[in-house]
Structure 1
Amino acid sequence: MGGSADPPEGTPEGGPGGGEDEYRSVVFDESFVRAARLQEFSAQERITDHAPAVRSLPPLRKGLSRQALILVLLMALAFGTAIYMGVRHPYQAPDGSGPPAEPLRMTVIPLSPRGEVPGAADTDLLYARSPAAQFRIGAEGVPLPAARRTAHFSDSQVTGALSIAKDYIVRSALYPEVLTGDQTRPVRVLLDPEQLDQFDRSFSHPAPDGRHAPTGWLVRFDPSQAELADRRIRVQGTLQAAESDAGTLEVTADHTFVYALRPAREDAGGDKADASLFTVRRELQFRFDREDLRLHQAQLVVSYVQAGPLSCAEDSVNRLHPLLSGQTAKEGGPAGTDPYATGGATALCGSLAPGSQPKV
C-alpha cells in the first residue's frame, strides 16, 4: 500500500517517485556502450528488414595498451642488462682476460758448508750472533711498500697485488703446517687455476726438471730429520710492483728466511739437542691480471731459491734435508747432468759462506 500522500494504486510509473528513480544516478559512458555484446535494432531497421529486436556484436579486439607495451620493453631491457653485467666484470680489460698463465720456472740451489754446522741450545743466542740479528719476526718481515697507481692500475689494485704476493710468501714459507710438509692447500688456493695442474704434478711426481720441484713452490723440510726449535722465524726482504703492460701487474719479491732447527724427536733419542740456523733466500716473481686481482689469486712465474746448510749430494727437489748442529756435508757433488737429455735442468750447488753462519 502507498504512503499517505500517494494514490491508492501507488505512484504512477515514470512519475517522480516511480521505479525509474533508482536508476537516475546510473550513467552509461561510451566505452560501456561499445563493450555491449548485444545491440538493439532501430525501429526503421526492424520495419525494413523484419529483423529481430537485437543483434549480436563481434567481440572487441583485446590487445596491450601502449603503456603496457612500453613497460614490457623496459623490463626486457633491464633483464638483458642484468645478464650482461653478470657475465662481464666491470673492471675487465676491453680485450678480455689477460694472456694464459705461464708455467712456473724454478731453480733450487743447495748451499754446502765447508765445515761443521755451528749450534747452541739457546736459539736467541744463535740469532743474536748471526747476520739475522736485526731481522723481523714472521710476517712483520714482509712489509707492504707504499702503493702508487700506474698508467692502467689504481692504487687499490696495486695494493691488492702486493697483498696477494705477501699472502703467498707468508703461507709458503712461514706456516708451520706447510714447513713440515703436512699441508699444501694454504698455498694452492692462492694460485691461478691454470697453474694448478703443474702444482699438483710437482707434488705427485717431483722431478728435477726446473718445472716440478715442490721446493720451488714452497719451503718444506723432511719432518723425520728436523723440526722447528723456535717458531719465531726471522725474515727480511722487499716487495716491488710494476706494470708490465696495460693488463698486467708484476710483483717482485726478494726475502731471506732464517729458521732455528733441531733434530726431530725420534732422531734425538729423547734428548734436547742443540739448535742450528738454516737460511733460505727466495726470489719470486708474480704476475696479476685483473681477474687474478678480483679473485685474490696469483701467477707465480719465477722462483729462484738458495738454501743451506745442505749437502750437494742430497736431493733437494721434494724436501729440504738440512744439516743440523755438528753435522758436515756429505762427500760428492750434485747429481750429474746429461747434455743429451731434453727437458731437463742443470743440477747446481753452491758453497755456503762462513760469514753467513752464527759465531758461537
Structure 2
Amino acid sequence: MSDRASEPAGPADGGAGGEGSSVPDGAWEAFQREAEESGRRGSAGAAGVPKEPSARARMVAARLREQDEAAAAAQRRGLGRRGKGKKPPEPWQPDGWRTGPALYERRGGGGWRQSRRVGLVFAVLCLLVGGLWFADQRGHLNLGSPGSGAQGEPLAAETGRPTGAPPTAAFSGLPTLERPWAGSPARRWDEGADAIELPAAEPVGDVSAAALADALADVKDFLVASQLDRETLHGAGPERALELLDPKNADHLRTVREGLRAPSAGNDGSALFTRFDGDELRLVGDAVKVRGRISVEEGEQGRAVVRTDHSFVYALRRAGDDEVTRVVVRRAFAFDVAPAGWGTTTPGTVWVTETIGEWAGVRCDAEADGMLHPGFPSERADGGGDGPTRDPYDRSREAGTGGADPAACGTATRV
C-alpha cells in the first residue's frame, strides 16, 4: 500500500491543505483537534452538545403559554369593567401534585365565600329566635305592648322609699306552672336571700362599724329564716327564726311563742312569720321574689336602729292541682342594736321592737291558725273583701298605710 493512502486528501483530490486549498494549514489543524475533542466528549455522554426538546416538552410549553395568555386576557377584561389599579396577572401555575385545586377555585372562586355568608346569617337567625323564645319563657318579654324593652330590664337595688306611681305589669295573664310570674311586676325582682342587700356598716351613735356589721348579718339571717326558709313556708315551726330572737327580750319572745302555740285573732304567728299549710299547698319552683331596703339610724342612748321593709311574692299551687296563685306579703321590722360590751343584748340574736305585716291574695274567711290561706283565681270574683282597695306592689307608700291593715281584708287590685 502506498504511503499516500494514509495521509489526508490533498488539494488534488478535494481535501483541505496543500496546494490549491482555500483553508490555511493552521485552521485545518485546529479543526482536527476540535473534532477529536468533540468525539471524546460525545463518547463520554455528549455533554455540552445541545439537544432538541422532546415532543412532550414542546407540548407542555405550548400549553403553559396558552394558559398564560388566557389568564392575561381575563385580567384585562376585569380591568376594563372595574377600572385600573389591579395587580397584573400572575403566570399560571399548575395544581400542586399533593393538594390539587382548592374547593373554592373549582367553584369559580366566590362559591365558598358565599356559602360562609349564608351560614353566618342562618346562625344569627337561630340565635335570635332562640333568645326570644327563652326570654318569653322566663317572662321577660312584653310582646305587643309599648316599652317592652324597658319592662324586661332588671331593677336596680332599692336604696330608699320609691316615689311616683307603682310599677305596671308588662302583660296580663294568670300565673301558670310554667310561668308563675306572668302579669306580675315581681318577675323583674331578684330572688331569695341574695335579694336582701345590706347597707355598708358605719359607726352609728356608740355602735362601732364592726358591731353594726354583725347586727346587720343577724338581721338578714332572721329575715331569711322567717320569710324564705322552705320548711317554714310549708308549715313547719319557725325554729331557726325563734332561735334568732334575743332571749333577754323575754316578754316579746313569750308573746311570739304563745301566738304559734294557740293562735288567735289578736295574737297570730303570721304577724311575724310567713307560713302556708304544707298539706294543701306547695311552692311553685324554688324562687321567692323579693324587693326591699334596709336602713340604719341613730336611736336613744347611743344605740342604733336597723329598719327593714321588704315585699315577698310567693307562687303557690294546691297539692295535686295545676292551678297557680300568688300571695304578696310585705314585712317591716325595727331592730334595736346596743353597743358591744353593754351586756343588754345577746350576741348573734336580734331584738325586735316593731313589726308591721300586710298581705294580699289571701282568703278573708280563714280562721286564725298562724298560717296564710291564699285564694285561687277560680274561687274569687274580686281581689278580696269589703275593705279599701290597694295595690300590694305599691312600695311608694309606707308599710301599714293606705288601707293595708290585714284585719280590714281590703280588695287587692292585683297579686
TM-score when scaled to structure 1?
Answer: 0.56
Question: Within 1, Cα distance between the matches of 2:241 and 2:333?
Answer: 14
Conserved? CA contact 1:138–1:234, under 8 Å: yes
Choose the corresponding residue for 2:300, options 226, 229, 245: 245
CA contact (8 A) 2:204 2:303 kept: no
Q: Which residue of 2 aligns with 1:313?
A: 365
After superposition, the CA RMSD in angstroms is 2.6
After TM superposition, give the deviation of residue 333 of structure 1 in Å. Answer: 5.6
Structure 1 residue 176, shift from structure 2 partner: 0.7
CA drift at 1:118: 6.1
Q: 1:332 to 1:348 in 2, by over 3 A?
A: closer
* Contact 2:359 2:406 (C-alpha < 8 Å) held by counterparts: no
**CA-to-aligned-CA distance 1:247-270 (integer Å, 9 cap, x gap):** 5321111001111110123xx3xx
Q: Which amino acid aligns with 1:305?
A: G
Alpha-carbon distance, 1:294 to partner: 5.3
TM-score (norm 2): 0.49
Tell me: CA distance 1:130–1:249, structure 2 relative to 1, closer, same or farther (3 Å): same
Q: Kindly indicate which of the two structures has a greater share of residues assigned to strand.
A: 1
**After superposition, what is the alpha-carbon deviation per residue over 1:216-265, rounded to whole angstroms, capped at 9, x for unaligned?**
12100122332101121111110111220235321111001111110123
Structure showing greater relative contact order (alpha-carbon pairs closer than 8 Å, 6 or more residues apart): 1
Residue identity opposite 2:264 in structure 1 = A
The whole-number CA distance in structure 1 between the counterparts of 2:293 and 2:201 is 13
Paired residue for 2:254?
197
- 1:275 corresponds, among 324, 327, 331, to 324
Q: Does 1:234 align with 2:234?
A: no
Distance (Å, rounded) in 2 between the aligned partners of 1:313 and 1:118? 26
SS of 2:282 mapped into structure 1: strand
Kindly indicate which of the two structures has a greater share of residues assigned to helix. Answer: 2
d(CA) in 2 for partners of 1:139, 1:292: 29
Equivalent positions of 1:249-260 (< 5 A) are 249-260=304-315
Q: Find the aligned partners of 1:310 and 1:329 in 2 and give their Cα distance.
A: 13
Q: Does 1:350 align with 2:350?
A: no
- Cα pair 1:158 1:241 within 8 Å, conserved: no
Contact preservation (8 Å) 1:250, 1:285: yes
Which residues of 2 match residues 293-304 of structure 1 at below 5 A?
295-304=347-356
What's 1:164 paired with? 218
1:219 to 248, 255, 274: 274
Could you report, residue by residue, the CA deviation over 1:274-329 in whole angstroms, capped at 9, with x for unpaired residues?
32222111111112324476521112222211112122222356210011242216
1:116-174 Cα deviation digits (max 9, x unpaired): x9634344x33253111221110011011112211311111111221111111111010
Which amino acid is 1:287 matched to? D
- Cα distance change on mapping 1:184 and 1:292 into 2, 3 Å: farther
Structure 1 stretches of 5 or more lacking a match?
1-116, 335-344
Once residues 317 and 182 of structure 2 are traced to their aligned partners in structure 1, the CA distance between those partners, rounded to angstroms, is 17
Q: 1:120 to 1:134 in 2, by over 3 A?
A: closer
1:240 alignment partner, SS class: strand
Decide which moves more: 171-180 or 127-136.
127-136
Change (3 A) 1:347 1:118: same
Listed as ranges, the matches of 1:32-51 within 5 Å are: none
Is residue 2:194 matched to residue 1:137? no
Partner Cα separation in structure 2 for residue 261 and residue 301 of structure 1? 31
Q: What are the residue-to-residue correspondences of 1:78-117 with 2, within 5 Å?
A: none
Quick one: distance in 2 between partners of 1:316 and 1:307?
14
Q: How many residues align?
A: 220
Other-structure match for 2:231? 177
The 3 A distance-change label for structure 1 pair 200 and 328 is: same
Aligned to 1:288: 337
Matching of residue 206 in structure 1 with residue 263 in structure 2: yes
CA distance in 2 between counterparts of 1:346 and 1:184 reads 21
For the residues of structure 1 that align with 2:268 and 2:336, how far apart are their CA atoms?
Answer: 20
Matched with 1:323 is 375
TM-superposed deviation, 1:347: 3.4
Distance 1:202 1:118, change over 3 A: farther
Once residues 313 and 196 of structure 1 are traced to their aligned partners in structure 2, the CA distance between those partners, rounded to angstroms, is 28
Can you list the C-alpha shifts for 1:36-86, whole angstroms capped at 9, x where unaligned?
xxxxxxxxxxxxxxxxxxxxxxxxxxxxxxxxxxxxxxxxxxxxxxxxxxx
Match of 1:40 in 2: none
